[in-house]
């Protein structure tokens, strides 16, 4: 019974990874098809960033980032954001470079939250990303990471270094006598 529970849990984590990937894939596709990111480059994103500057819940440091970096490179971001979202979605669905993809998702999601957009869906997505990191050993089932043996690329292995102490004859005698 315990083995079935482990398989069920692993399957749920894999399902979470796939659904998380579908969410990112759809977010990128939606930006391209519905919000006219490529037909009218930079207009939607510039309006979004300008609106974020007016929000009281956007931290001052992030407002400085928007003014000095994001608005200066709005066309680059306009093309990069949906393409990266689509790639991240595909990577998560097939399980390729899963951990780096999740970290990039977290980075992009933190930027979304800092820009003043926090809602229930954002919190659920953010929580799912941490859930996948916490249970990362289970996300590799049914993945290309496992198939191509890429799991070891993204793990930190800590080994204990054995210390060999050689005792002098006097120390051995004291140790044996105590």
* 150-175 pLDDT, tens digit each: 887 766 655 656 555 555 565 556 55
pLDDT, residue 1, reads 54
pLDDT, residue 124, reads 82
Q: Answer yes or no: are the C-beta atoms of 86 and 29 closer than 8 Å.
A: yes
pTM of the model: 0.80
Q: Scan for tokens 């930027």, then name that residue.
A: 111
What is the per-residue pLDDT across 90-132, written as a single tens digit (0 to 9) for each?
A: 999 999 999 999 999 999 999 999 998 888 877 887 888 888 9
More confident of the two residues 85 and 159: 85
Q: How many residues does the chain have?
A: 178
Q: What angle do CA 27, 31, 34 make, to 5 degrees?
A: 115
pLDDT, residue 175, reads 56
Please tell me what DSSP assigns to residue 71: T
Write the DSSP assignment of 27-50 as a string of letters.
Answer: HHHHHHHTS-TTTSTTHHHHHHHH
Q: What angle do CA 105, 59, 126 make, to 5 degrees?
A: 25
- In this prediction, residue 13 has a pLDDT band, given cuts at 50, 70 and 90, of very high
Q: Answer yes or no: are the C-beta atoms of 148 and 91 closer than 8 Å.
A: no
Q: What mean pLDDT do residues 132-145 have?
A: 88
What is the per-residue pLDDT across 27-61, written as a single tens digit (0 to 9) for each?
A: 999 988 886 777 888 898 999 999 999 999 999 99
Boundaries of every domain in the chain: 2-177
Query: In angstroms, rounded to a whole number, what is the distance separating the alpha carbons of residues 54 and 63?
Result: 9
Query: In angstroms, rounded to a whole number, what is the distance separating the alpha carbons of residues 83 and 116?
Result: 22
């Amino acid at each position: 019974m315990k083995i079935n529970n482990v398989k069920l849990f692993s399957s749920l984590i894999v399902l979470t990874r796939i659904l998380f990937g579908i969410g990112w894939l759809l977010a990128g596709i939606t930006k391209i098809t519905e919000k006219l990111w490529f037909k009218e480059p930079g207009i939607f994103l510039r309006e979004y960033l300008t609106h974020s500057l007016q929000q009281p819940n956007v931290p001052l440091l992030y407002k400085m980032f928007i003014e000095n970096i994001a608005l200066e490179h709005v066309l680059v971001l306009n093309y990069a954001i949906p393409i990266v979202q689509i790639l991240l979605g595909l990577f998560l669905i097939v399980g390729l470079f899963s951990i780096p993809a999740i970290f990039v998702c977290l980075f992009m999601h933190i930027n979304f939250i800092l820009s003043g957009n926090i809602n229930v869906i954002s919190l659920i997505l953010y929580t799912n990303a941490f859930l996948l990191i916490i249970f990362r050993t289970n996300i590799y089932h049914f993945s290309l990471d496992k198939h191509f043996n890429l799991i070891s690329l993204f793990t930190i292995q800590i080994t204990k270094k054995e210390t060999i102490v050689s005792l002098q004859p006097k120390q051995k005698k004291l140790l044996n006598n105590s």
